Amino acid sequence: MGAPPGYRPSAWVHLLHQLPRADFQLRPVPSVFAPQEQEYQQALLLVAALAGLGLGLSLIFIAVYLIRFCCCRPPEPPGSKIPSPGGGCVTWSCIVALLAGCTGIGIGFYGNSETSDGVSQLSSALLHANHTLSTIDHLVLETVERLGEAVRTELTTLEEVLEPRTELVAAARGARRQAEAVAQQLQGLAFWQGVPLSPLQVAEDVSFVEEYRWLAYVLLLLLELLVCLFTLLGLAKQSKWLVIVMTVMSLLVLVLSWGSMGLEAATAVGLSDFCSNPDPYVLNLTQEETGLSSDILSYYFLCNQAVSNPFQQRLTLSQRALANIHSQLLGLEREAVPQFPSAQKPLLSLEETLNVTEGNFHQLVALLHCRGLHKDYGAALRGLCEDALEGLLFLLLFSLLSAGALATALCSLPRAWALFPPSDDYDDTDDDDPFNPQESKRFVQWQSSI
């Protein structure tokens, strides 16, 4: 099959396409894009479930680590203010993990932008294809209406004027038959007319879904950025309450990161299967949705020398008929106008209609060639299989870095806040405040002495 212009499956497509697939019974599944088949759906769900498994293992590891930290650490002597050994290492490991998470956030913003650009390119290609198909329908409708109007008015008037000369009437009727034949042939060129599938509607649906996907990822990225920044602020100010709140938020973002990782991994694997050989699936799906013949669809989707133009015969017959009409009108103008001056007006009107029809015909020949629509098909594939897939892989890297950084932070933060000085909670209190625990203790001692 002929590849669209400028599109070749990338190395990432080949790499992801070679990954093994299996259903829920762990039976091998072919790497052929078939989203309607249950086994293939199970294979993609199993890929997404790997992220769920990673989340479960991550939570178990964090829980075991924190239980060991809380239950197995040696008791500190009362009133001891000497920090535990290794406290600085724990704090710095948490800070490094959060900075790695910030780096992942930058990667996530780039991946989100790349994915959005790829989907926008897909939508633009669909809109351009819709414009081409609509223009074909409009030109066919306009040309057929012009020819029909010319047959009903100018040719009828011309036959009435030339009625005394039977040979001239026969020539006018021949032009009528040729015009009717052209109109009949042109009607068969509007192949997309009445088709239930609209590229415009598909482009609008894709843009609608992409808008909310982009917004959801921006919110997730901003949420993680705020968590990282406020956690670093809490560590810098040694604020226990802020670190505790950010620990809970980190756990939430950790769950969201693993969830997005599963969605991204399944989408990337499915997209790689589609992009490795998109033509068969697109041909079959378009034929099911539109009911068009495989000859027409193969001509536009493949656009190679092995597939002939299905409209070539109609275009050839129409061109010959237009040439015959032109020669007949020239003959009538040469023979009839000297004898029937009133025939000049309908003949001039017919020549004008013929010129417009020939102009529309040449536009139809250019639009019906496979180059234009096949170029839109290639642009859609490049947007989906290059930019969008690359963006998905960057988002996958973001989710992986985010999950690792947050898991490390969740293990480090409880140890970090345990090292905060006890006076942290009373730094902002007034020494003369009676509600200050230290001032209350001195007040009780003073009363006892009295």
Q: Quick check: 160 pLDDT over 90?
A: no
Tokens representing residue 178 in the block? 């040729």
Of 7-11, 424-428, 438-442, where does the model show the most confidence? 7-11
Kindly report, residue by residue over 355-385, the tens digit of the pLDDT.
Answer: 999 999 999 999 999 999 999 999 999 999 9
Kindly report, residue by residue over 170-204, the tens digit of the pLDDT.
Answer: 888 888 899 999 999 999 899 998 888 899 999 99
Q: Quick check: 241 pLDDT over 90?
A: no
What is the residue-averaged pLDDT of the chain?
86
Contact criterion met (CB below 8 Å) for 417 and 244: yes
Kindly report, residue by residue over 63-99, the tens digit of the pLDDT.
Answer: 998 888 777 655 555 554 554 544 567 778 888 888 9
Tokens representing residue 67 in the block? 């239980």
Domain ranges of the chain: 92-256+286-420
Task: Give the side-chain half-sphere CA count within 13 A for 304.
Answer: 7
The predicted structure's pLDDT at residue 88: 60
Report d(CA 57, CA 401) in Å as an integer: 16
Report d(CA 336, CA 329) in Å as an integer: 10
The predicted structure's pLDDT at residue 5: 58
Kindly report, residue by residue over 302-320, the tens digit of the pLDDT.
Answer: 988 888 899 999 999 999 9
Q: Quick check: 33 pLDDT over 90?
A: yes
Residue 164 binned pLDDT confidence (cut-offs 50, 70, 90):
confident
